[in-house]
Structure 1
Amino acid sequence: MKSKWLIIIAAFLLVTNIGTVVYFMSADEETTGGDKGSVLSSFSGNVAQVGEQSISEGDWVERLKERYGKEVLTQMINKEVVSQLATKHDITVSDEELNREIELYHRMVGTSADGHEHPDVEQMGDKELKEEIKHAILLEELITKDVVINEDELRKYYKENEHLYDLKPLYQISQILVESKEEAEQVIQELENGSSFSTLARERSIDEFSAPSGGAMGWVDTTSNYVDPAYLEIIEDMETGKWRGPIQTEAGYGIVYLHDVKKGSKYEFEEVKGQIRRQLAIQQLDANFDPKQLWDELKVEWEYGSQ
């Protein structure tokens, strides 16, 4: 299942480089009259003034196009090609399938240590993430539509990996980690006096990963291997909106805060049959697949000449 989501992430990166698109498109929006009160207007068509030398809006946009233009246009064409071909071949994604894929995404990527390895994906808003996952599903369906996987093989995979579809409850937590029990008790006293948990985490926590984000550790389940076992032993019995501590951990003494809980669920074979088929089909295909290979089915013309 983890390899499935590595493929999804790869599809994201093939379809959209989030940082580049946001950077380029926001620049384009401003240069085409987006914000009338922006700094651009104060330079009379220039985007910067360095001493006596100005940098024009045109030069700026031209440099962006030279550096990112082909890549961004490729990504935009890829999205349009997938959208048109999905319509042509009557390929759709139901709301149930999309919601299930989003939940599995959060489980396999967003709630694990691996999530920190994909900050661009992790920082997507819900709407953007939904669009990208839907696009990735359509792309997978298109590239595997001619691959046949028999029912027995699908059921065999499900049976061997049934635990992956039996989703445990998720707990959204934050922590404040300090070196000694005495310091932890001082933090607890401040919390009881009304101090903000997130502010204290930034100021006092010694955990370099969670402290900058106010102690946030994201969504975890009780099998998570990057959360201290001492936390996992107690979060099941906590109330949301409450904290507990001090808790002795391997790295010091912690106070854990429970923000929210998501109930577990189990997906039966028929619910995930399509996903399994795509996953097994992709494993049979050329690992170097490029979405540009889909362009041949449509008449794609662009300013960079031949593909």
Structure 2
Amino acid sequence: MTRQEKGLLAAVVVLTISVLVLGGLIGYKGLQPDRDNGETDADLKDEGSHAAAIIGDDTISEQEWAEELKKRYGKSMLLEMLNRKAIALEAKSQGIRVTQEEIQERLEKQMEGYVSEEAYYEEMQNQFGLSRDDLTLEAMYRISLEKIATLGIHIDDQQVDSYIREHPDEYSSRKQMDLAWIMVDKQDEAEEILDRLDKGEDFAKLARSYSTDQFSRDNGGSLGWTDEDDPFLPVTVMETARSLNAGESAGPLQVPDGYAIVYVQGIRTEDSEPRQEIRQEVRRELALQQAGPLEELEKNLRSKYGAQITADFPSS
């Protein structure tokens, strides 16, 4: 597994809980029967329920909304809230603390493969409704959970060395390319831009003027340094880029969002991570493998601290 694939896996773990709660909310009201004839918005106000949404002459009250959310997601959300309380209590009991440096390091791993930090946060907000604070709190929770899970587990240097030897592709030096691209909607637009590049026009200026990719356009189309097997960029783009020398461009390449012209600004080879960081990551992974399922730990800690769900949930 590459370093970027690790970043993708970490992002999936972080988002699992939030997707459970947020992912299925759109459209649920449309499956419910209309309210009884004669019921008006005024009646809703009389019942102490304010409108959460309006469509045509119909209103969805906050009470209806809350009841539907409770029915569909209430128990799962309560369990997650109890998990967080239990982990906080156990961390305090064990004297475990999570530093800002650890949180930032975790978030940076999750950002790998994105054009920029801003692009990552924008994607998380747009796709999952998760703010920076949400992601920070989730990172802190996962780190606390992992620290509790691995208490008392010792991984010696010999185990770390053995793991690194057995996974050379994961920790060997890798080729990176400083890439830029120009994205357009039509093939003839891309061919026209290629002609202008052949005549000596500046790639960055053309990207700022014509590229449809909002994340890279203002930076002259720059995608930054990317691994040669970057899983976040289209396969056709990466295959073409690997065949180019520094300073060369190629296209048009058909991609999901239109047509791309790719430009290799530079090439370098470097170790996947500083040696000490590699060893720390391997030590953590091996300890987690010995620790067992984190879901089981959450369940055990809820029991240890006497968690109970006393609320009644409507049948679905």
The normalised TM-score by structure 1 is: 0.60
Residue 294 (1) aligns with residue 301 (2): yes
Residue 142 (1) aligns with residue 148 (2): yes
Which 5+ residue runs of structure 2 have no aligned equivalent? 26-40, 116-122, 197-202
The verdict on how the C-alpha distance between 1:176 and 1:51 changes in structure 2, with shifts beyond 3 A counting, is closer
Residue 70 (1) aligns with residue 58 (2): no
**Residue matched to 2:35:** none
**Which secondary structure does the structure 2 equivalent of 1:17 belong to?**
helix
The verdict on how the C-alpha distance between 1:154 and 1:234 changes in structure 2, with shifts beyond 3 A counting, is same
Give matches, 1:202-213, under 5 Å.
Answer: none
Out of 207, 218, 226, the residue aligned to residue 220 of structure 1 is 226
Residue 84 (1) aligns with residue 89 (2): yes
Letter in 2 for 1:247: G
CA deviations over 1:242-266 (Å, ceiling 9, x no partner): xx8553558797324799xxx9776
The verdict on how the C-alpha distance between 1:198 and 1:297 changes in structure 2, with shifts beyond 3 A counting, is farther
Calculate percent identity across the aligned residue pairs: 25
Name the structure, 1 or 2, with higher relative contact order (CA <8 Å, separation 6+).
2
**Does the Cα contact within 8 Å between 1:86 and 1:142 map onto a contact in 2?**
yes
Taking the aligned partners of 2:252 and 2:308, their CA distance within structure 1 comes to: 63
Letter in 2 for 1:69: G
The verdict on how the C-alpha distance between 1:61 and 1:130 changes in structure 2, with shifts beyond 3 A counting, is closer
Provide the aligned length of Structure 1 versus Structure 2.
261
**Does the Cα contact within 8 Å between 1:171 and 1:235 map onto a contact in 2?**
no
Residue 281 (1) aligns with residue 287 (2): yes
Structure 1 vs Structure 2 CA RMSD: 4.9
**Which secondary structure does the structure 2 equivalent of 1:47 belong to?**
strand
**Does the Cα contact within 8 Å between 2:176 and 2:227 map onto a contact in 1?**
yes
Out of 125, 128, 135, the residue aligned to residue 129 of structure 1 is 135
Taking the aligned partners of 2:225 and 2:20, their CA distance within structure 1 comes to: 24
**Which secondary structure does the structure 1 equivalent of 2:228 belong to?**
coil
Taking the aligned partners of 2:107 and 2:156, their CA distance within structure 1 comes to: 26
Give matches, 1:1-307, under 5 Å.
Answer: 8=10, 11-12=13-14, 16-18=17-19, 20-21=21-22, 44=45, 45-48=50-53, 54-107=59-112, 124-161=130-167, 164=170, 171=178, 173-176=180-183, 183-187=189-193, 196-199=209-212, 220-224=226-230, 226=235, 227-232=237-242, 237=247, 247=251, 249=253, 254-256=260-262, 267-287=273-293, 289-290=295-296, 291-304=298-311
The verdict on how the C-alpha distance between 1:84 and 1:275 changes in structure 2, with shifts beyond 3 A counting, is farther
Taking the aligned partners of 1:88 and 1:167, their CA distance within structure 2 comes to: 43
Letter in 2 for 1:303: T
92-101 or 135-144: which moved more?
92-101
**Which secondary structure does the structure 2 equivalent of 1:228 belong to?**
helix
**Which secondary structure does the structure 1 equivalent of 2:295 belong to?**
coil
Question: Is the radius of gyration larger for structure 1 or structure 2?
Answer: 2
What's the CA shift for 1:72? 1.4
The normalised TM-score by structure 2 is: 0.59
**Does the Cα contact within 8 Å between 1:247 and 1:254 map onto a contact in 2?**
yes
Which 5+ residue runs of structure 1 have no aligned equivalent? 25-39, 112-118, 203-209, 238-243
